[in-house]
Structure 1
């Protein structure tokens, strides 16, 4: 559904939201390991999420790292997708065509238009905090290494 970059970014957001705080900043290496992403790739993703939108905050220096504020955890997943420029699954043609509408539909238009509102509602109604809480309640793992709802290894 999403690019590999977006998958890593979403995992990083959830991981940082779950395990960080202003007094417990996370380094790039543990984040990359937890989300099963190359360190340099993780650094690029986090740079994008810290630079303009301030979803994730970073502090440099010996006690530095990445963290998320409680307020940022109220961000909807739709907003996260928009920050990552990945909201096209809701806003654009599923086949990526420039000209796709009711009057000029692509072959997938009639079926996808039924799914789009459901996806939009799902991403708009779920916040980062909701995902963490649901993962905690279900005691689910996210990826090969990342454990949500379990003690961090």
Structure 2
């Protein structure tokens, strides 16, 4: 459903939020290991997200990535839109460019409902919620 870049970004941001809640900064090596992603790939993703304000970073020996309260209020939909665009929330289920209410594809009506449910779920899902569930060991990021 999400691109690999988006999957890694979501996992990394949730991991950083959980690990930095006590003021700690997390380095790329720890993030990569913590979410099971290639180090180089996650570094590029986080560099871009840092420039855009989705996560903060500090350089130097005590540096690393961290999130503040504003970042914890981000929704999964915010992150998906930034990385993968709006296609998940508005695109055709068959990938047709001309699919619309007046020119529907064969699965238009059913897919529109699914798409709206996914959008609603992701817009209601905030980073803080995932951190809380990880802390309660209701969910996990890596086995």
Task: Say yes or no: TM over 0.5.
Answer: yes
- Measured in 2, the distance between the counterparts of 1:138 and 1:86 equals 31
Give the length in aligned residue pairs: 143
Alignment check: 8 A CA contact 2:2 2:84 kept: no
Residue 24 of structure 2 is matched in structure 1 by 24
Offset at 1:121? 1.0
- Measured in 1, the distance between the counterparts of 2:94 and 2:32 equals 32
What stretches of structure 1 move > 4 A for 4+ residues in a row?
Answer: none
SS in 2 for 1:84: helix
CA root-mean-square deviation = 1.7
Higher relative contact order (CA 8 A, sep 6+): 2
- Measured in 1, the distance between the counterparts of 2:64 and 2:46 equals 11
Q: Which ranges of structure 1 fall in alignment gaps of 5 or more residues? A: 145-153
1:47 paired to 2:47: yes
Residue 112 of structure 1 is matched in structure 2 by 111
- Measured in 1, the distance between the counterparts of 2:129 and 2:79 equals 13
- Measured in 2, the distance between the counterparts of 1:108 and 1:13 equals 34
SS in 2 for 1:58: strand
Structure 1 segment 1-153 matched on structure 2, within 5 A = 1-21=1-21, 23-52=23-52, 54-144=53-143
Which has a greater percent of helix?
Answer: 2
SS in 2 for 1:46: helix
- Measured in 2, the distance between the counterparts of 1:95 and 1:68 equals 37
TM-score w.r.t. length of structure 1: 0.85
SS in 1 for 2:65: strand
